[in-house]
Amino acid sequence: MSTLFDPTDFRIVPARTFEELKIGEIFRAPSRTLTDAHASAFQTVSCDNHPIHYDVQYAKRYGHRAPVVHGLQVLAFTAPGATLLPHTFGDVFVAFLELSCEFLVEVHAGDTLFPALEIVELKPLGDKGTVGTKVTVHNQRGDLVLSGRHKYLLRTSNR
């Protein structure tokens, strides 16, 4: 007895069309507690060897309670793939177009981060459309440590 295998039956969430997305929808990523090992790994990958990121005495000398986690590492927590957003986009996804952010509160090893992406703009452009999201990262104290925006290009169902 043979059954047909269909990989689309293995989607994490049902894919939706551009027209089915709604402003105000929020896609959260699981919280993650940063460790010294995470910071060291990012330092290795980024080649950013500024002592503010690893030297306790240097950081304290310049008014920080501990080495500061790389801002780009905090920004990486807003990667859409850490949420269900790209799975929701499914096959209509074309490109990640742009991003911007502000770093509002420094982050240290031991902080737990809570990222979220909220759809704030849906702009149809013929057979394509852009999705704008507001991205936020809060720490365990409820401080907003990063605020920014992402923009994605999707195909619309008006092919």
Instruction: Summarize pLDDT for 98-111 with one digit per residue, the tens.
Output: 999 999 999 999 99
Report yes or no on 54 lying in a domain.
no
Which pTM value belongs to this model? 0.90
* pLDDT tens for each residue of 41-96: 999 999 999 999 999 999 999 999 999 999 999 999 999 999 999 999 988 999 99
Report yes or no on 60 lying in a domain.
no
Count structural domains, the chain. 1
CB 15 within 8 A of CB 88: yes
Report yes or no on 107 lying in a domain.
yes
Name the β-bridge partners of 95: 153
Report yes or no on 88 lying in a domain.
yes
User: Whole domain around residue 132: which residue ranges?
Assistant: 17-33+75-155
Collapse the DSSP code of 67 into the 3-class scheme (helix H, G, I; strand E, B; otherwise coil) and give the result. coil
CATH number reported for the structural domain that contains residue 103 in this entry: 3.10.129.10
The span from the CA of 132 to the CA of 154, in Å, is: 11
> pLDDT value at position 3?
76
Q: Is 152 exposed, middle or buried (0-12, 13-18, 19+ CB in 10 A)?
A: buried
Report yes or no on 10 lying in a domain.
no
How many beta carbons lie within 10 A of that of residue 53, not counting itself?
20
